Amino acid sequence: MTAALAQLGARQLAAERRVAEYRDMLSRFRKLIDAGTLDVRIARGRMVLTMPVDILFPSGSTKLSSEGSRALVEIGAVLAGIVGKKFQIEGHTDTVPIHTERFASNWELAAGRALVVTHALIDAGVAPLQLSAASFAEYEPRASNVEEAGRTLNRRIEIVVVPDLAELPGNEELQRLDAQG
């Protein structure tokens, strides 16, 4: 019973720490949130910072706008001060097909945008070891692509705080299983 209570207490402390981290992230990004440049939310068990692509890039392009560059400098300054966390930069598109000399599909466009944002964050002071980039193209929509309002929501860059699986219950057992090969 003592061990179970100690484990329950440790889980409660971990949960309180995650809530405090989320509140801290909200306060750090309050200016950008209030300006409509950034949305911070919990999605699929992950803390996600979302930027509409329209702020960052012209249509069909991976060239950062001046507004996007300024926003990424601000975001990078905050992320650089967060020690011990990793961030995945995810590119998302709508379902409108693209097929240009440079981008064969939405996969390439979303990947290119994610890489541009990754490099901008590195230039803003985020350690490269803290960053990775991914492309989801049109395959993780936030809204229906039938109308323009939904397509606008789906064109986005998400900066995901990568969860540390070592903090989850059962990690010790997973480590033992991994060691057994």
Domains of the chain, first to last:
2-180 (3.30.1330.60)
Contact 60, 155 (CB under 8 A): no
Q: In Å, how far are 11, 73, 89, 90, 137 from 110, measured between CA atoms?
A: 37, 20, 10, 8, 5
At residue 124, the pLDDT reads: 97
Task: Find, among 34, 78, 30, 71, the residue nearest to 156 by Cα.
Answer: 71
3-state SS of 71-92 is HHHHHHHHHHCCCCCCEEEEEE
At residue 177, the pLDDT reads: 79
At residue 168, the pLDDT reads: 66
pLDDT tens-digit readout, 94-148: 999 998 999 999 999 999 999 999 999 999 999 999 999 999 999 999 999 999 9
At residue 169, the pLDDT reads: 66
pLDDT tens-digit readout, 44-91: 888 999 999 999 999 899 999 999 999 999 999 999 999 889 999 999
At residue 61, the pLDDT reads: 95
Contact 85, 130 (CB under 8 A): yes
Strands of the chain, DSSP E: 39-43, 46-52, 87-92, 131-137, 156-161
pTM over 0.85: yes
Strand pairing of 46-52 and 39-43?
Answer: antiparallel
Residues 6+ apart with CB under 8 A from 62: 109, 112, 113, 115, 116
- Give me the residue label for tokens 């509409």: 52
Q: In Å, how far are 2, 11, 45, 169, 172 from 8, measured between CA atoms?
A: 10, 5, 20, 10, 16
pLDDT tens-digit readout, 140-181: 999 999 999 999 999 999 999 998 777 666 667 777 877 887
